[in-house]
Every structure is written in structure tokens, then in C-alpha cells.
Amino acid sequence: MPYRYKYYVVKREMCKKCNGSGYLMHPIWEKIHEENPTSLTENEIKEYFKKYGILEVPPEWLECDICKGSGFITEYVPLIDAIKETQSQLT
Ligand SMILES: [Zn+2]
């Protein structure tokens, strides 16, 4: 980040990829739920993953790769920009 300004504030926004939960469902788990309205047995799940070359069943939920599980995106923005952006909300 080029330090053009002296003052910065931290901008904190909800992560759009995981909707603030910090977790994403494993894509193959997602497929399993979509294709199977009734729950599968442990063995059926194992077989399902085997089809994709995955021998060990991974956790259903993975930490979001965008926000690293925090549910938020934080970045430094110049204070002047933050003031401009929020000015209408101040009055
Ligand atoms: Zn996220």
C-alpha cells in the first residue's frame, strides 16, 4: 500500500463469499446434499468421495479462503475517503 496519506482507518465489511459465517461447505459435500435429499450412510459417503479420488472424507465445512474464517474483510482506507463515503450518514 503506498503511504500517500498520513491517516488511515480500518474498513470492515462482511465477507460476501461466506456471508459472514467464516465457513464454506465443501463443494463435494454440497453436491451430496443436493443429490441426496435423505441422508446417506457413512459408507455411501465414503464411496461418494472415492469417485472424486478423495480417500478420506473431509470435514463438511471449510474455513472460508477469502476471510480466513473471520467472516469479515478488513482493509486500510485513507481517512479522507472514509469521511467522504460516510458523510451523508453523519447528519
Ligand atoms: Zn468469508
- Phi, psi angles (nearest 5°) of residue 64: -60, 130
Residue 29, number of CB atoms within 10 A of its CB? 19
Reply yes or no on whether the pLDDT at 1 is more than 60. Answer: no
The per-residue pLDDT for 90 is: 73
If you measure from the C-alpha of residue 43 to the centroid of ligand 1, how many angstroms do you get, rounded to a whole number? 31
If you measure from the C-alpha of residue 83 to the centroid of ligand 1, how many angstroms do you get, rounded to a whole number? 26
The per-residue pLDDT for 14 is: 98
The per-residue pLDDT for 41 is: 93
**On the CB side of 21, how many CA atoms lie within 13 Å of its CA?**
10
For 24-80, write each residue's pLDDT tens digit: 999 999 999 999 888 889 999 999 999 999 999 999 999 999 999 999 999 999 999
Q: Give the global pTM.
A: 0.67
Reply yes or no on whether the pLDDT at 81 is more than 60. Answer: yes
If you measure from the C-alpha of residue 62 to the centroid of ligand 1, how many angstroms do you get, rounded to a whole number? 10
Q: Closest by alpha carbon to 30, among 60, 57, 51, 64?
A: 60
If you measure from the C-alpha of residue 17 to the centroid of ligand 1, how many angstroms do you get, rounded to a whole number? 5
